[in-house]
Amino acid sequence: MKSNALAIQFVERQLPEGNYTAAVLGVPRPNAAQFAIAEKMKQAMKANEDWFFKTMEELKPGELIQYHKNLGISEEEYAVFMKFSQSVKLDKIGVIELKIVRKENSLHFEPKDFGDYLKYLVVDLKDQRLRVDSK
């Protein structure tokens, strides 16, 4: 049996039809100062795109980009950015009510209030694929 078929069978067993309370996972939002630094970096990376892509290609897996003036921020701002970016971790940021519905050979999600994007996610059990359905 193909590995994708095993994965889909696993998902199907783990997501039976019904009503659930689901945890919402996310990362904390940066504060205003951290956001401002990230925006400055974003603009500088666009302005120095060739340098940025070349630098990123030269990094070894897991290696962090070193400070450079082309990042568009000061060394102090870089230290603040690195401290924040290295401390970010996926965490529970809330809960939602979620209904899982089976329609023919697919699983559909019906979130209540928050998480509207989930209503477009479909687990196609026949074709063994995840798809985004614009409905």
pTM of the model: 0.54
pLDDT number for residue 9: 81
pLDDT number for residue 1: 53
pLDDT number for residue 71: 97
What are the backbone angles phi and psi of residue 132, rounded to the nearest 5°?
Answer: -105, 120
Beta strand 106-112 pairing with 121-124: antiparallel
pLDDT mean by block of 10 residues, the chain; 135 residues = 74 88 85 94 95 93 93 96 87 89 90 81 86 76
Dmax of the chain from CA atoms? 57
- Following DSSP, what letter does each residue of 33-75 receive, concatenated? HHHHHHHHHHHHHHHTHHHHHHHHHHSPTTPPPPP-GGGSS-H
